[in-house]
Amino acid sequence: MSSVKPPDIDLGQYKFGWHDPANYVFEPKRGLNADVVREISFLKNEPEWMLKFRLRALEIFERKPMPTWGGDMDGIDFQNIFYFIRSSEKQSTDWNDVPSDIKNTFDRLGIPEAEQKYLSGVSAQYESEVVYHSLREDLDKKGVIFCDTDTALREHEDIFREHWATIIPPGDNKLAALNSAVWSGGSFIWVPPGVQVEIPLQAYFRINAENMGQFERTLIICEPGSFVHYVEGCTAPVYTSDSLHSAVVEIIVKEGARCRYTTIQNWSTNVYNLVTKRAQAHKNATMEWVDGNLGSKLTMKYPAVWLTGPGAHGEVLSVAMASEGMHQDAGAKMVHVAPDTSSTIVSKSISRGGGRTSYRGLVQVEPGAKRSKASVVCDALLLDEDSRSDTYPYMDIREEDASIGHEATVSKVADDQIFYLMSRGLSEEEAMAMIVRGFIEPIAKELPMEYAVELNRLIELQMEGSIG
Amino acid sequence: MADPILQISGLEVAVDDTPILKGVDLTVPQGEVHALMGPNGSGKSTLAYALAGHPRYEITAGSVIFDGQDIVEMEADERARLGLFLAMQYPVEVPGVSVMNFLRTSINAIRGEDISPRDFIKLFDSKSELLGFDRSFADRYLNTGFSGGEKKRHEILQMAMIEPKFAVLDETDSGLDVDALKVVSEGVNTMRGPGLGVLIITHYTRILRYIKPDVVHVMFEGRIARTGGPELADYLEEHGYVEFGAAEEAAAPAG
């Protein structure tokens, strides 16, 4: 069994909270206006249509009010944020060419090691841009495209433009508009028809600077009959003032294709994590979101699948853990548009130390989506009296013959469970950790082993010192 | 007589501030099997939980010397690591945790070193056969969806794998049919020897036909009311607990 382990460094409970001295390629500026957007586009040497797209999105962002239905976002000061930081002159395909302090960071996060062991491609984003990138040669030969989104715009403009913002237009919501205006980095994946990418592709996102805004934009296109599993991980330093991560992820899964998208998000507790993720599943296509939310100050994220082709299937498996000072407002959306579509949502949340988790989900069955099937299971586990869990399940069913199941449970760890395990020699902390691991097992078993180990390890880190 | 593995003196225990045990004295020499009988509500299970260290069972007076050490202040896990085992009347469900994972974690914790996967499988295979389980049982989630009989056999399987110095069997016979009772008893009899003391807590004499006790104690209203040889169990089967003051209907021990 191997796991990715950073060296032991004691930074309190959050083990990824160090930061590097800031070395920027140009002096970054705080705040947002049309000039900032123009500068980003200029620095990236973008085509005119993209600059127009950005400026239009900025107008939408400025016009739309902040959403108030979810978590508390009053602490976000959009004029105090750095919207673009360039940390390296160029992107490397060899770790030795990455600036040494940035390479050290990724070494400490175990990325190069993981790349050698169990990945077929890696992308590492530091602040606004991808600094390292690799793809296994055999996949390259099969025609798979895996690159950062800026490169994709330069080198694959036709495929890019055909699909860009077709799933999440800038007007979708205020944060999607913001991302559309200032996006930078992220992953672009195109899998040719019939090609199966058996080993996961991974992207790693690292925020380093204080008050940084990271706005990566990911676009994945699975051509008919293809398969890809994409994994992303995220960390940031611990700072006293807040940073913002606001990504947009669009996925198009064409006929008979399958895409799995796994996130293990472990932002520090000064990061607002406000992400829009949506996939479109065509005829007989399958889209699976596996979403682990272990960090951040506030996460609002509801991975969605639009089931637009007959026989399409969507799945969301979601684990959230909230400790002190954290609010995980996570969930899923399934929109059944075509007949014979099916969807499954399994959400597991753990609250401890005064943390708060919310499940917010939507199942929508549109007229014409005959014989749709949807199942929602959301379970919450409270580890103490101070923590909180809420469930907001929305259902909008417009077909008589839809089959919809919904189950929700909230449980507390029982003293008798702890006692039973302790009477078999486990310490109280080990007993608690075992109960929590068991609780998330239905989701952990869906992950490749390395990620399941990582998920368990992160949960145990967060639980350190939780007994007492 | 061997040195005592368990020596309880003047033990008083309260649950939610209500006194249940009111001065229990009980000694079990190592290697012996003792039965603790008594009507419902006499305090038998309270004694079991208090010995194992359940935090709800508050020891208010007295001492419990286990293998030469006073364990009153110890947490449940410390007691388990010293070699004390409680086979529970109501084993608790822990969803998502496989029997395999649970047993390995437990054995590693109690031994203080990691058992190799090979040795673990060997141990599991030999003991699970004794208790009537096959390999697939290891993949099931702990006590989740187990039948009553499976739960009790699994308790004894744990005991066989952990190899404690002393085991308390709390109403292990309740809810078992005759076949399951035989399997469980056979399991315990196989473990009997100079290195294992046992306290069998039961309302009925049925299990004592399969596991012969060396000594029988009767508990009534939070105290040991009488101690005798195996013949005391037979006597109780015939006469019930009425002479200790129990009401007629609650008294029949021979179920």
Best B92, B93, B107 member to test A by mutation, with max A CBs in 10 Å, is B92
What is the distance between the terminal CA atoms of chain B, rounded to a whole angstrom? 33
Residue B58, in any domain of the structure:
yes
| Minimal-distance CA residue of chain A relative to B110 | A425
Inform me whether the pLDDT recorded for A228 exceeds 70. yes
Residue A231 region by backbone torsions, left for phi larger than 0, else alpha for psi between -120 and 50, else beta: beta
> Residue A439 and residue A414: Cα distance in Å, rounded?
13
Q: How high is the pLDDT of residue B245?
A: 76
Inform me whether the pLDDT recorded for A325 exceeds 80. yes
pLDDT bin (cut points 50, 70, 90) of residue A6 is very low
Q: How high is the pLDDT of residue A1?
A: 38
Q: Could you give phi then psi for residue A70, rounded to 5 degrees?
A: -115, -130
Best A350, A377, A381, A422 member to test B by mutation, with max B CBs in 10 Å, is A422
Inform me whether the pLDDT recorded for B83 exceeds 50. yes
Inform me whether the pLDDT recorded for A4 exceeds 80. no
B80 vs A425, A434, A442: nearest CB:
A425
Rounded to a whole number, what is the distance in Å from the CA of B191 to chain A's nearest CA?
18
Residue B103, in any domain of the structure:
no
Residue B38, in any domain of the structure:
yes
Number of domains in chain B: 1
Q: What is the per-residue pLDDT across B122-169, written as a single tens digit (0 to 9) for each?
A: 999 999 999 999 999 999 999 999 999 999 999 999 999 999 999 999
Alpha helices, H only, B132-211? 148-162, 178-191
With a CB cutoff of 8 Å and minimum separation 6, the contacts of B157 are: B127, B128, B130, B131, B133, B187
Residue B183, in any domain of the structure:
yes
* Contact: B54, A419; criterion CB under 8 Å: yes
Cα–Cα–Cα angle for B158, B159, B160, rounded to 5 degrees: 90
Least Cα distance to B6 among B59, B82, B89 occurs for B82
| Minimal-distance CA residue of chain B relative to A432 | B94
According to DSSP, residue A180 is labeled H
Inform me whether the pLDDT recorded for A328 exceeds 80. yes
Inform me whether the pLDDT recorded for A8 exceeds 50. no
A420 vs B56, B75, B88: nearest CB:
B88
Q: How high is the pLDDT of residue A451?
A: 81
| Residue range A194-198: mean pLDDT, rounded | 95
B80 vs A415, A416, A424: nearest CB:
A424
Q: How high is the pLDDT of residue A400?
A: 94
Q: Which amino acid is at A334?
A: M
Lowest-confidence pick of A182-196, A328-342, B10-24, B237-251: B237-251
With a CB cutoff of 8 Å and minimum separation 6, the contacts of B239 are: none
The distance from CA B183 to its chain's CA centroid, rounded to whole angstroms, is 16
Inform me whether the pLDDT recorded for A436 exceeds 80. yes
Percent of chain A with pLDDT over 70: 96
> Residue A83 and residue A44: Cα distance in Å, rounded?
14
pLDDT bin (cut points 50, 70, 90) of residue B250 is low
Residue B226, in any domain of the structure:
yes
Lowest-confidence pick of A111-125, A246-260, A291-305: A111-125
| Residue range A5-10: mean pLDDT, rounded | 42
Max CA pair span of chain B? 55
Neighbours of A244 (CB within 10 A): 25
Q: How high is the pLDDT of residue B1?
A: 64
Inform me whether the pLDDT recorded for A464 exceeds 90. no
Lookup: tokens for B61: 């007076």
Q: Specify whether the CB–CB gap between B155 and B87 falls below 8 A.
A: yes
Q: How high is the pLDDT of residue A103?
A: 87
| Residue range B24-39: mean pLDDT, rounded | 96
Q: How high is the pLDDT of residue A111?
A: 86
- Domain of B70? 4-97+164-244
DSSP string, A261-303: EEEEE---TTEEEEEEEEEEE-TT-EEEEEEEE---SEEEE--
Q: How high is the pLDDT of residue B247?
A: 65
Best A1, A416, A422, A423 member to test B by mutation, with max B CBs in 10 Å, is A423
Q: In what helix (H) or strand (E) does residue B118 lie, and over which residues does it extend? A: helix B117-130
Lowest-confidence pick of A70-84, A418-432, A442-456: A442-456
Q: Is B80 helix (H, G, I), strand (E, B) or coil?
A: helix
Q: How many Cα atoms occupy the beta-carbon half-sphere of A284 within 13 Å? A: 6
Q: Please state, rounded to an integer, the average pLDDT across all residues of chain B.
A: 93
Sheet with A227-235, edge to edge strand ranges: A129-135, A121-126, A201-206, A227-235, A258-265, A286-293, A313-322, A342-351, A373-382, A403-412
Inform me whether the pLDDT recorded for B110 exceeds 90. yes
Q: Specify whether the CB–CB gap between A362 and A392 falls below 8 A.
A: no
Q: DSSP strand E in A352-447: where?
A: 356-365, 373-382, 388-397, 403-412
Q: What is the per-residue pLDDT across A379-432, written as a single tens digit (0 to 9) for each?
A: 999 998 899 999 999 999 999 999 999 999 998 888 899 999 999 999 998 999
Residue B141, in any domain of the structure:
no
Residue B53, in any domain of the structure:
yes
Q: How high is the pLDDT of residue A13?
A: 62
* Contact: B77, A435; criterion CB under 8 Å: no
Q: Specify whether the CB–CB gap between B129 and B160 falls below 8 A.
A: no
Q: How high is the pLDDT of residue A185?
A: 94
Q: How high is the pLDDT of residue B2?
A: 78
Lookup: tokens for A405: 């199941």
Higher pLDDT, A461 or A245: A245
Q: In what helix (H) or strand (E) does residue B129 lie, and over which residues does it extend? A: helix B117-130
| Residue range A83-91: mean pLDDT, rounded | 87
Inform me whether the pLDDT recorded for B103 exceeds 80. yes
Q: How high is the pLDDT of residue A445?
A: 86
Q: Please state, rounded to an integer, the average pLDDT across all residues of chain A.
A: 91
Which residues from A are below 8 Å from B80, CB to CB?
422-425
Rounded to a whole number, what is the distance in Å from the CA of B211 to chain A's nearest CA?
24
Q: How high is the pLDDT of residue A133?
A: 86
Q: How high is the pLDDT of residue A414?
A: 85
CATH assignment of the domain containing B14: 3.40.50.300
pLDDT bin (cut points 50, 70, 90) of residue A142 is very high
* Contact: B94, A435; criterion CB under 8 Å: yes
Residue B233, in any domain of the structure:
yes
Q: How high is the pLDDT of residue B244?
A: 84
Q: How high is the pLDDT of residue A66?
A: 93
pLDDT bin (cut points 50, 70, 90) of residue A19 is confident
A422 vs B77, B85, B91: nearest CB:
B77
Tally C-beta pairs within 8 A across A and B. Answer: 83
Which residues from A are below 8 Å from B76, CB to CB?
419, 422-423
* Contact: A430, B158; criterion CB under 8 Å: no
Which residues does B contribute to its contact with A (CB < 8 Å)?
Answer: 52-56, 75-77, 79-81, 85-86, 88, 91-97, 101-102, 105-107, 109-110, 141-142, 158, 162
Lookup: tokens for A362: 């939507």
Sheet with B4-15, edge to edge strand ranges: B18-29, B4-15, B57-66, B69-70
Q: How high is the pLDDT of residue A466?
A: 54
Higher pLDDT, A240 or B198: B198
